[in-house]
Structure 1
């Protein structure tokens, strides 16, 4: 008799997890995990200085100003950073957070994975009553066929009947402008009884973000400027002619230019020069 009761009790605990102990929010950054629910503090955030982000001036200035408004308790918009891979979308979010904190604002950042979106209402419940302001950050957000997670995203963007907590702002990055695969949208449009209504909810996900910030492949000048910036910041001294020749050769082997490719080349260069990269 005891055995079945214990199994039932364990199953009920999994379905209704124990309440999350109130975090003290002493750290500047957290990662949301489930099973059980917890906000794990991040001891050291992996990020680059905002001054080293090249070729994204307009997006940088827009996101920085929006985040400052939010940190001051002023109206601010949720933001979708979309576009080319490796062009600094997530780096910009983390760099802006650091820059605003450096100005004296008590701003926290909480990373939420796409897979944990169905639990976002529980997370918002924990953040709602806290005496801090939070940027809720979801990296590489997109939805595949038969993916219902997008419905949970609406809770973050619109907040349902309670509304989004006044102290929470949502930033997401994606390679897609509309978050959904084009063929998925077109398939629903062609098979639905009411085609326009069937796809409106999914296409309009992007429209629920007040800011759309586009990121595009970088020019060669920007690519080289990124590398020069890293060299200056970390004390790697090589001639410009050598840097130019080796950086161009490196990008050719990677099939293109991006901020990520620039950083990968710099890491290789620094290692060959015997220079440790400071965190």
Structure 2
């Protein structure tokens, strides 16, 4: 028997065992990287939080949130146009019709995050689920999409206070999930993100110049600008939020004091303390109105 014949027969003998070992290694790696099989999807809950595993291989898993903090659409004031747009978009999504990813930007405390929670409150009985993910974990989006792609529910991926600094790479994974993946995003997943920044990435004055040489030696700084702007453009629906006027702020205070059981006379008496509260905070918003109402109701018993 020649050495080549011996090697071939030996290989045929060893091959089944090698394949079994490779299969076991693949299963172990899949588990270590946090890729959950469909059968391992968490027990049904209205909301989930993506929790990253910070081991050698990274990955993550979904943690059920049994009693999420929700709010009703009707409890939100001074955002009627934004409320109508996001409610319509979410209804289309839940009904299986085309719908857009949504970017909510603008003044702090004006109801951006609350509107997304209101979507869950309104549509959870119709199969809508919310997944909250931190921007630092966006590199796991591919794993998350694989996990929920074949699920019967409809999922909104909620990323709050989204923005990126120079050198952060998570925005590339987000761009791919929004529009650029070869396999496409899951048909049962939309991304709703809030930010105080319209374009999500910092821009420099030099990037708006038609110069051929950037400050850092980059030959075409305009290409960098296009890269940054393209992320926010991948959200099909933009909703902008603005600071409250004094009347808007007082209307929000009135609503929350009614929530705590105050009658009209006591609400009227609270106007001056409410305005003083907003001046000490240096802003007027729905969040500040809520904070005042809680403090005032607590002190008034």
2:70 is the counterpart of 1:54? no
**Highest Rg: 1 or 2?**
2
Stretches of 4+ aligned residues off by more than 4 angstroms: 12-16
Q: Against the structure 1 CA distance between its residues 99 and 184, is the aligned structure 2 distance closer, same or farther, given a 3 Å change threshold?
A: farther
| Paired residues of 1:227 and 1:266 also in contact (CA < 8 A) | yes
- Separation in 2, partners of 1:256, 1:148: 33
- 1:144 aligned partner: 165
- 1:70 aligned partner: 93
Aligned pairs (5 A) from 1:1-279: 16-20=32-36, 22-35=40-53, 37-101=60-124, 104-183=125-204, 186=207, 190=214, 191-237=217-263, 239-274=266-301
Greater Cα offset, 75-84 or 140-149: 140-149
Q: Against the structure 1 CA distance between its residues 184 and 156, is the aligned structure 2 distance closer, same or farther, given a 3 Å change threshold?
A: farther
- Separation in 2, partners of 1:14, 1:74: 34
| Paired residues of 1:78 and 1:209 also in contact (CA < 8 A) | yes
Q: Against the structure 1 CA distance between its residues 64 and 185, is the aligned structure 2 distance closer, same or farther, given a 3 Å change threshold?
A: farther
| Paired residues of 1:145 and 1:184 also in contact (CA < 8 A) | no
| Paired residues of 2:49 and 2:132 also in contact (CA < 8 A) | yes
- Separation in 2, partners of 1:15, 1:72: 34
- Separation in 1, partners of 2:44, 2:236: 30
- 1:6 aligned partner: none
Greater Cα offset, 79-88 or 27-36: 27-36
Deviations 1:186-227 (A, max 9, x none): 399834222332321211111111101000101111111111
- Structure 1 gaps of 5+ residues are 1-8, 275-279
| Paired residues of 1:223 and 1:259 also in contact (CA < 8 A) | yes
- Following superposition, the deviation at residue 24 of structure 1 comes to 4.3
- 2:13 aligned partner: none
Q: How many residue pairs get matched?
A: 262
> TM-score, length-normalised on structure 2?
0.81
RMSD of aligned C-alpha atoms?
A: 2.3
- Structure 2 gaps of 5+ residues are 1-24, 54-58
> TM-score, length-normalised on structure 1?
0.87
| Paired residues of 1:185 and 1:199 also in contact (CA < 8 A) | no
- SS of match in other structure, 2:270: helix
- Separation in 2, partners of 1:167, 1:62: 19
